[in-house]
């Protein structure tokens, strides 16, 4: 049971015991026969539930596979390929990239606006403000100034 580590979790210890007949027999030697039958029933229920779940999962996967085949047939009938579906830029044209809304706005003494998204290296004006000890989150938030 020693796999090189000095501590093992309960789950690891439990799985080791139930996977090895000798260890399991050693742990259950003082358990009465009626209790062993109860354990057997519980394990039987677990096995049945697991088998039913696997059967349901296989049925769902098969249904999904059939739907995919049906969609592919419909696409073929309509003259569409998977590329037509996945590459909508061909149909709509390229979507414009949305610019990152500036988080910080500073208006200097000459009434020039300086904007920064807060990502990447700050522009020189914001570096200077930070060096002076200005808290950008309190003084230069664009949502406060834009209103």
DSSP string, 41-90: HHHHHHHHHHHHHHHHHHHHHHHHHHHHHHHHHHHHHHT--HHHHH-THH
pLDDT > 90: what percent of the chain?
A: 47
pLDDT of amino acid 147: 45
pLDDT digit string (tens) for 65-109?
999 999 999 999 998 888 877 776 555 666 566 667 778 888 888
pLDDT above 90: residue 2: no
Here the tokens at position 77 are: 């009938």
pTM assigned to the model: 0.46
Q: Are 18 and 24 in contact, with CB atoms under 8 Å apart?
A: yes
**pLDDT category of residue 48 using cuts at 50, 70 and 90:** very high
Q: For tokens 């807060």, name the residue.
A: 118
Q: Are 91 and 126 in contact, with CB atoms under 8 Å apart?
A: no
Helix (H, G, I), strand (E, B), or coil: what is residue 116? strand
CA torsion, ordered 50, 51, 55, 57, to nearest 10 deg: 20
């Amino acid at each position: 049971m020693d796999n090189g580590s000095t501590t093992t979790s309960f789950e690891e210890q439990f799985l080791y015991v139930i996977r090895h007949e000798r260890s399991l027999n050693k742990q259950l030697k003082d358990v009465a026969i009626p209790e062993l039958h109860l354990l057997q029933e519980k394990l039987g229920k677990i096995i049945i539930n697991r088998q039913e779940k696997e059967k349901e999962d296989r049925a769902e996967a098969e249904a999904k596979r059939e739907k995919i085949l049906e969609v592919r047939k419909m696409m073929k009938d309509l003259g569409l390929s998977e590329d037509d579906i996945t590459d909508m830029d061909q149909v709509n044209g390229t979507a414009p990239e949305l610019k990152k809304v500036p988080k910080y706005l500073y208006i200097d003494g000459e009434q020039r606006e300086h904007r920064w998204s807060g990502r990447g290296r700050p522009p020189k004006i914001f570096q200077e403000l930070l060096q002076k000890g200005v808290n950008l989150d309190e003084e230069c938030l664009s949502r406060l100034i834009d209103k």
